[in-house]
Structure 1
Amino acid sequence: MTDRPWGGDIEGRLARWSVVVPCLPVVVMVIRKVVGDWQPLGDAAYFAVRSRDVLTANHPLLGAWS
């Protein structure tokens, strides 16, 4: 056992990567949004389009269908 907070063995590496990998798409999306190059795709596009329908005649009554 080492004194490093994440450990130096395979479990420590696995713990680090299990945090970094799921956060990476969110970080990339935020950076692209800040830079101004972001275009909504997939569910993000669906939410962007349907959020404009709130308080109109075509109000979405349910959540996402996917």
Structure 2
Amino acid sequence: MWDAVASFFADLVRADNPLWLYYPLCLVVAVVYKATKFDDPKKIAKAAAHFFVSVTLGMFALAL
């Protein structure tokens, strides 16, 4: 079982994986979405980072 999990995550970080195209899009969406909610740049950065990590981990959890 752990070999399958390790293989899954190894496939995710391969350079030819098309999922790498998802990360810039998610980052842009996070910044734009949080910029509509906050005015302070520090709060925007913190909230966008939290949003990006949450969405990314959520997608990994759904993939498992």
Same fold by TM-score, threshold 0.5 exceeded? no
TM-score normalized by the length of structure 2: 0.36
Which structure's residues are more often helix, by fraction? 2
Please, what TM-score do these two structures have when normalized by structure 1?
0.35
**More relative contact order, 1 or 2 (CA 8 Å, 6+ apart):** 2
Larger Rg: 1
